[in-house]
Structure 1
Amino acid sequence: MSVFRSTALVDAPPRTVAAALLDGGQVVASAARAGVRLRLADSVGGGANGSGDANSTVLAPGDELSACRLRLRVVRADERQVALRLVGGPLRSLDVHAELVPTGADTLLVLSAEWVSPAGALGRLANITVVRRAMLRLLTELVAGARRRAEDLALGRVVVGAAIVRAGRLLAQQRGFPAVHAGRWELPGGRVEPGESERDAVVRECVEELGVRVRPGEPVGPDLPLREALLLRVYAAELVDDAEPSAREHRAVRWIDAGELSELDWLPADRVLLPALRELLGANSGRT
């Protein structure tokens, strides 16, 4: 087995470094700088691919990428690790994973690739002359690109979301507009206003969109890249009283349990959070 690693100290929290690693446009651009043509599957970002709108492509568990006859699938995407695994191609195995280690205000990013080349003399020769060289270039550029993107996002504006849980069920709301997003589902939320804290923005947005007051808790899952200097950060939240949320700015609202999470047609960024939301619902399943 061959193992390569590339590391960097990033001036951003782990959640934001994860957002940079999940930015499909950033990943494609970094691979190109290493001389690797990487393509995202058409399903990534709700239909955008490597030739589409790079700013709308957010990688989620289950998404696939391809390069050099290799096909990899995202198997984990959270604030601690982003991981991909080989699902097709000439290598016998390939695992790529980024570990995100908090170090005070910074994050130590450790990107590793572990692979097994085809057996025989030809496979060993290809590994020495081609694969190892390309892998080293690729890891170096991916780490450099993630560092730049994370530090830009850390200085950018924040959109907050609210994962409101009651009695083991999550509140989702359905978009009515614009036409491209109509009918799809998302968590409540909106932009943080100048001078406003992120948690205060969660409270305000829930009053405006749902007519209810909530108590924000801790962040849920990784941050998510939206546009050049804009990221989404979702907070767990609970209702402060018995008021029932209503769809003031959306087509509909709906309480769903963990089994229904995968049934909804989520907006691209929100679908990345499904594993974290499932975990959140499990932790709150016994509460009323």
Structure 2
Amino acid sequence: MPELRITTLIDAPLRTVAAALLDARLLARAVRGLGVRISGGPVLFAGATLDGSVGPVDGTLFVTRADTTGVSAELVGGPLPRFTLVTDLLHTGGGTMVVDSVEWSSPGGPFGRLADVLVGRGLALKVLEARAAAVSARSVELLSARVVVGAAIIRDGLLLAQQRSYPPEAAGKWELPGGRVEPGETDHAAVIRECSEELGVTVEPDDQIGPDIPLRADLVLRVFAAHLTEGEPEAVEHRAVRWLTAADLDTVDWLPADRVLLPALHPLLT
């Protein structure tokens, strides 16, 4: 099976680089003009699908992994038996090592030989180089991004979620409680304040869960585990609140940014 690989060292924390990788719009822009088309988004999460093509090969990009370890996607529904795009992230003393690779297998006969030429001799390498450059630049931008915090409040193996009532495009969807960090405020202080305002409870924040998640060009979502210390959650600013079991997580209509966190949340609900 043919494979191409490139390695890039980015001077940014691993979670920041992971956030850049999760930006689906960045991926689309990076490969524009190279005979590659990708549409979808705005954020990548495990299970997401994007319409795509690589040269003459059309198909659907199915995201199989999107977390702090990197991103993997497969091109399915096209004539190639296999085409995968894999990015692995490794923390080092000098920054974050990004290892981009693409693998494919071709059918036999003349089309297979043509596919190897079109995919392997330049196109795949150009895609990897463009993606690496875009991720590096986006990571630097995200170092100064403003932060929205979220709280993964867990009690007795259950996760608290709240249902949006506005704006119209988000109404009815579910998310974790939270909001923007105010100037001069720490992330943990913002978690405590937002949970008091949105739920009428007091919480104690703990470690961050999952990667930073890009919301806009200059805004990221950062979610922390938390536990209740006082009060019972109420839907003060939202349509409803609900305690979810591990089995519930994949059945809820989450906002895309919150859906990114499901692989990190599942192990906590045992």
Matched, 1:10 2:3: no
In the alignment, what sits opposite 2:153?
164
For residues 239-286 of structure 1, give each alpha carbon's deviation from its aligned partner in whole angstroms, at most 9, with x where no partner exists: 124x2111111111111111111222111211111121112213xxxx
For residues 59-103 of structure 1, give each alpha carbon's deviation from its aligned partner in whole angstroms, at most 9, with x where no partner exists: 111112221313221001110121112322122212221111111
Larger % of strand: which? Answer: 2
Total equivalences in the alignment: 266
Return the offset for 1:6. Answer: 1.9
Matched, 1:152 2:137: no
In the alignment, what sits opposite 2:44?
59
Structure 1 stretches of 4+ with a deviation exceeding 6 A read none
Letter in 1 for 2:85: V
Contact 1:217 1:237 in 2 (8 A): yes
Letter in 2 for 1:254: R
Counterpart among 43, 50, 71 of residue 82 in structure 1: 71
* TM-score, structure 1 normalization: 0.87
Letter in 2 for 1:198: D
Return the offset for 1:34. Answer: 3.0
For residues 103-159 of structure 1, give each alpha carbon's deviation from its aligned partner in whole angstroms, at most 9, with x where no partner exists: 136211111111112223542243135543110000110111111112111211111
Contact 1:164 1:238 in 2 (8 A): yes
Contact 1:72 1:84 in 2 (8 A): yes
What is the correspondence of 1:169-180 to structure 2 with a 5 Å cutoff? 169-180=158-169
In the alignment, what sits opposite 1:258?
246
SS at match of 2:172: coil
Moved more, 104-113 or 193-202: 104-113
Counterpart among 182, 192, 195 of residue 184 in structure 2: 195
Return the offset for 1:217. Answer: 1.2
Letter in 2 for 1:14: L
CA RMSD of aligned residues (A): 1.6
SS at match of 1:164: strand
Distance 1:147 1:253 in 2: 39
SS at match of 1:205: helix
Contact 2:177 2:194 in 1 (8 A): yes
Matched, 1:214 2:203: yes
% same residue: 53
SS at match of 1:246: coil
Contact 1:99 1:110 in 2 (8 A): yes
Distance 2:254 2:153 in 1: 16
Contact 1:158 1:230 in 2 (8 A): yes
Contact 1:163 1:171 in 2 (8 A): yes
For residues 29-60 of structure 1, give each alpha carbon's deviation from its aligned partner in whole angstroms, at most 9, with x where no partner exists: 001043422233xxx4xxxxxxxxxxxx1111
Matched, 1:245 2:230: no
In the alignment, what sits opposite 1:32?
32
Matched, 1:204 2:193: yes
Q: 1:105 to 1:195 in 2, by over 3 A?
A: farther
* Gapped regions of structure 2 (runs ≥ 5): none
* TM-score, structure 2 normalization: 0.93
In the alignment, what sits opposite 1:273?
261
Contact 1:175 1:185 in 2 (8 A): yes
Contact 1:34 1:141 in 2 (8 A): no
SS at match of 1:38: strand
* Gapped regions of structure 1 (runs ≥ 5): 45-56, 283-288
Q: 1:260 to 1:129 in 2, by over 3 A?
A: closer
In the alignment, what sits opposite 1:54?
none
Contact 2:86 2:100 in 1 (8 A): yes
Distance 1:197 1:89 in 2: 48
Q: 1:141 to 1:33 in 2, by over 3 A?
A: farther
Distance 2:195 2:227 in 1: 11
